[in-house]
Structure 1
Amino acid sequence: MSNSMRQRPPTLLLGLAIVAVLVSLAPLSYLVIRLGEFGIDKVIANVFRERSLELLANSVLLALAVAASAVVVGGFQAWLTTRSSLRGRALFAVLAALPLAMPSYVTAYAFTALFTGFRGFAAAWLVLTIGTAPYVYLAVSAALMRADSATEEVARSLGAGRWRVFKEVTWPSVRPAAVSGAMLSALYTLSDFGAVSILSFDTFTRAIYSAYRSSFDRSGAASLAAILVVLTIALLLIEPALRGKSVVTDSRTRKYSEIQLGWFAPVAVMLASAWVIVSLVLPAYSLVRWNQTGLSQVDLGEVSRALINSVGYAAGGGFIAVVFGLAVSVLAIRYRSTFTSALERSIWITHAVPGIVVALSLVFLSNRVLPEIYQTSTLVLIAYLILFLPNAIAAMQTPISQTPRELDEIAASLGASRLQTLRRVIIPIAGPGILAGGALVSLAVLKELPATLLLRETGIET
């Protein structure tokens, strides 16, 4: 693509991206106001007190542990279901993504009902790994299906072993996807409240919620939330180096010759089955056992209305995330500059901020700036955009970056505008990743609790 084309992003995409950034950064203005009320001396004292440093260590250690295990579990599942000769691959592919449908706090409750003493760091690590491994699995699976098979086959024909082919050919092509999934896992862990609360493991989000509940003065909790923002910025600064350079592929999903597992086949089946038991069977069994005595008292009409409302919110949240996420992703990849990169990075800054902080910031700002949207579905959807837009962007970036730029040049030479090229070339090729981004956001909306409870319209149940 020509340099001039890169430097002139479409006005529509630029406008959507700027709106997305302004909306995403809205909670920061709330935090700044609260911190200003608190006073700089008190903020510094609160940040550097022993309790805050303990929370910092707990939160960082848990986030890193969950991200690492999510990459191992999700990456291994992706390789097994897309490249290997594993029996029942199609079934395992579906089962690998299913934990996304269960909120982490529900999984935590299910395990505590089954196992006495299921508490602390290890318990939180397991539950959050179950909830976040599908992020890595979906991203890496899509990247593996679009990676250049010819290069791998040439490497094998030249005598390279499986490990060398993976390290020098396969890994560079899936590394950006794996890092994006790990980033989502880490930020999800930093922002999680339900699981760590049930499992009695102290992190910033648990302390923030306790501070909001125990005092009318929100400033102390705001100072803790500000530390989460700083942590997120630190992750964003190192993430590009971890991603490495994108590897361009052709525009088709390739069919690979299966890698024969040989003696490892039964081990792979046992490992995959064991994870299904831990991540799905045990939680489901616990919930079914718990619900057996209460199902007769459920009002099916009320449940049906709540389900319809939840699906409506999920569809709306997924749609707006796709629209804004596509604009941001295309700008960051196809029209890369310091400005567009800054726009994309800015959206991630508030991703680790707990939902309760986002909700309170929107209540605060809407009452002062636009009271007409207070307690409306519009405000709820804005909250979902702030909370989950990075999920969509993470899913879209790898397939968009793998789309050959030469196709853009061909379209331009045939007289297509930049928006026509986006609609006719980029979107069809990157379609699976774009749809995956929308699906991830919709699932996240279905699981979201604090923002929905605080911002929903009166009488609307989910």
Structure 2
Amino acid sequence: MTGGRGRSGDGGRRPPATLVALVVVLAAVMLVPVGYVVATVVEIGWAELAELVFRPRVGELLLNTVLLLLIGVPATIVLGVGGAWLVERTDLPGRRVFAVLLAAPLAIPAFVASYGWASAIPSIHGLGGGLLVAVLAYSPLVYLPVLATLRGLDPALEESARSLGDGSWAVFARVVLPQLRLAMLGGGLIVALHLLAEYGAFAFVRFDTFTTAIVVAYQSTFAGPAAASLGVVLTALCLLLLVAESSARGRGRYARVGSGSPHPAVPIRLGRATAPAIGALTALVLASTAVPLASVLRWLGAAESSAFADLGATVLQTALLGAGAAIGATLVAFPVAWLVGRFPGRRVRVLEAPYYVASSLPAIIVALALVTVTLRLVPALYQTVFTVMVAYVIVFLPRALVSLRAGIAQVPESLEEAARSLGVSPLVARLRVTVPLLVPSIAAGAALVALGAANELTATLLLAPTGTRTLATQFWSAASAVDYPGAAPYALLLILLSIPAVGLMFAQARGWRAR
């Protein structure tokens, strides 16, 4: 919502030089994987690169990846927006229960969901299988931010539109939907980046994308030219996504002063649409949560006692790595989000782009880039926890950055100006006024990062110190050997470990109006 921002970056101010310098330095670190790909391509040479790129196999992978994006991202947006609107703005029976269940798939890693579907229906494969698993697994990444935004919208705007004769659909299209643009674009961008970089979920259903092909190529040749050329195409796709999202985002303001109308929105009566709405949401919940969970429990019942050995140490290591990644990503994302939120413009968007570019690359490319850099420049950091943390931050930073960016955009800058007018320094004003209002955004972003780190597979396998055992790597070791019962305990623990983080994110989304 517009209003309350006072002067902005579009009004002529320049960002502090120290802030810009910090963002540039961090961007340089984030671009290490991209530099690795570029350096590898230079070593290959343009002639050989052209032969590698312009071949039928690359065309097939490009078609698969583009179709995945063109169908998958809109599908997650439709499911996320539709589900959030039904539970937040209508008289849907059981909407509080559905509100929780629609966020539940986020607690099931995509590769675990794929494991569940593949073991339940072995014939599932290809684009259809990939879309089914990805859309069901990633739709909560759109649902939660949209739900939070709906909770924060002033219902008086919708009531005014209805008083002018607009029906429910017209109010949704003309009043509600434009206010959801940041949440939809941010969530859609995260989904798209996940689809570009996902490996495990698609490997289970035998769907080839650039990422699965790159992993196979790196496994066979470590850092061969074929894999590097595929990485170049994947990076180009990411750049196109970033340009499209940045253009669609625009320069609109969404902050407001005050809490708006003191009463909650009057639920819209669904009438004859009640039964279809309940049926659609029930089918979505069953497909996204019940099927994978049932498969995990079925295989868990067949697991031998040896499958439960060393679970405690594995959980502890997973939790520690996830917490470290969440702290690191939040610290790195904050200055970038502040720059974008307080000083928007084309130059700032250029500085923001590197933070998404590297994250779009498969985690295995990020890991191999860090392996190369550490071995050549700082051998002491090779296969250390520090290197693992750097990889996690690079891969999962958009989760923290998008959340923080949206939070800062919705905090009126005039609140800081009011505090400074009372004699408080700018730093103290931000710490006392702005940061407390950003706690929900910080918590949501940190939880998303921790979830991603706990579920990360390829980077952990390649970078972690010898002897490191996480739930994801142990699960993959068993599942890839078709030991489904042996993988089940780790799959269940991955789900259980994710539930508190998902609960926190859901609570923050539902509690937006309390801010």
Same fold (TM over 0.5): yes
Q: Which residue of structure 2 lines up, in the alignment, with residue 76 of structure 1?
A: 82
Q: Which residue of structure 2 lines up, in the alignment, with residue 265 of structure 1?
A: 274
The Cα of 1:228 is off from its aligned counterpart by 0.7
The Cα of 1:313 is off from its aligned counterpart by 1.0
Cα separation, 1, equivalents of 2:72 and 2:377: 39
The Cα of 1:249 is off from its aligned counterpart by 2.9
Cα separation, 2, equivalents of 1:81 and 1:346: 36
Letter in 1 for 2:256: T
The Cα of 1:296 is off from its aligned counterpart by 2.2
2:285 matches 1:276:
yes
Contact 2:400 2:448 in 1 (8 A): yes
Q: 1:451 aligns with which of 455, 459, 462?
A: 459
Render the CA deviation track for 1:366-403: whole Å, top value 9, x for unaligned: 11222222111111110011001011112222232122
Matched-pair identity in %: 37
Residues 361 and 151 of structure 1, relative CA distance in 2, 3 Å threshold = same
TM-score by structure 1 length? Answer: 0.94
The Cα of 1:194 is off from its aligned counterpart by 1.0
Cα separation, 2, equivalents of 1:12 and 1:316: 26
The Cα of 1:16 is off from its aligned counterpart by 4.5
Contact 1:97 1:137 in 2 (8 A): yes
Cα separation, 2, equivalents of 1:3 and 1:202: 45
Paired residue total: 461
Cα separation, 2, equivalents of 1:251 and 1:386: 36
Say which SS state the counterpart of residue 256 (structure 1) adopts: coil
The Cα of 1:89 is off from its aligned counterpart by 2.6
The Cα of 1:3 is off from its aligned counterpart by 5.9
Cα separation, 2, equivalents of 1:13 and 1:142: 29
Q: Which residue of structure 1 lines up, in the alignment, with residue 209 of structure 2?
A: 203
2:420 matches 1:412:
yes
Residues 434 and 284 of structure 1, relative CA distance in 2, 3 Å threshold = same
Contact 2:87 2:96 in 1 (8 A): yes
Cα separation, 2, equivalents of 1:262 and 1:416: 54
TM-score by structure 2 length? Answer: 0.85
Cα separation, 1, equivalents of 2:426 and 2:371: 39
The Cα of 1:108 is off from its aligned counterpart by 1.1
The Cα of 1:448 is off from its aligned counterpart by 0.8
Letter in 2 for 1:47: V
Say which SS state the counterpart of residue 344 (structure 2) adopts: coil
Q: Which residue of structure 2 lines up, in the alignment, with residue 392 of structure 1?
A: 400
Q: 1:92 aligns with which of 72, 94, 98?
A: 98
2:242 matches 1:249:
no
Residues 332 and 286 of structure 1, relative CA distance in 2, 3 Å threshold = same
Render the CA deviation track for 1:197-246: whole Å, top value 9, x for unaligned: 11111110111111112225522201101111111101111112322434
Q: Which residue of structure 1 lines up, in the alignment, with residue 384 of structure 2?
A: 376
Contact 1:63 1:187 in 2 (8 A): no
Letter in 2 for 1:374: Y
Say which SS state the counterpart of residue 298 (structure 1) adopts: helix
The Cα of 1:190 is off from its aligned counterpart by 1.0
Letter in 2 for 1:379: T
Residues 12 and 135 of structure 1, relative CA distance in 2, 3 Å threshold = farther
Q: Which residue of structure 2 lines up, in the alignment, with residue 182 of structure 1?
A: 188
Unaligned runs of 5+ residues in structure 2 are 1-5, 471-515
Say which SS state the counterpart of residue 211 (structure 2) adopts: helix
Alignment of 1:209-358 (within 5 A): 209-244=215-250, 245-250=252-257, 252=259, 255-300=264-309, 302-358=310-366
Residues 286 and 400 of structure 1, relative CA distance in 2, 3 Å threshold = same
Q: Larger deviation: 4-13 or 40-49?
A: 4-13
Render the CA deviation track for 1:239-279: whole Å, top value 9, x for unaligned: 12322434333454973232232232232222211111000
Cα separation, 2, equivalents of 1:303 and 1:322: 29
Render the CA deviation track for 1:89-127: whole Å, top value 9, x for unaligned: 332222222212222121112111111311111110010
Q: Which residue of structure 2 lines up, in the alignment, with residue 64 of structure 1?
A: 70
Alignment of 1:13-162 (within 5 A): 13-162=19-168
2:425 matches 1:421:
no
Q: Larger deviation: 255-264 or 368-377?
A: 255-264
Cα separation, 1, equivalents of 2:213 and 2:300: 31
Unaligned runs of 5+ residues in structure 1 are none
Cα separation, 2, equivalents of 1:73 and 1:26: 35
Cα separation, 1, equivalents of 2:167 and 2:125: 43
Residues 419 and 65 of structure 1, relative CA distance in 2, 3 Å threshold = farther
Q: Which residue of structure 1 lines up, in the alignment, with residue 495 of structure 2?
A: none
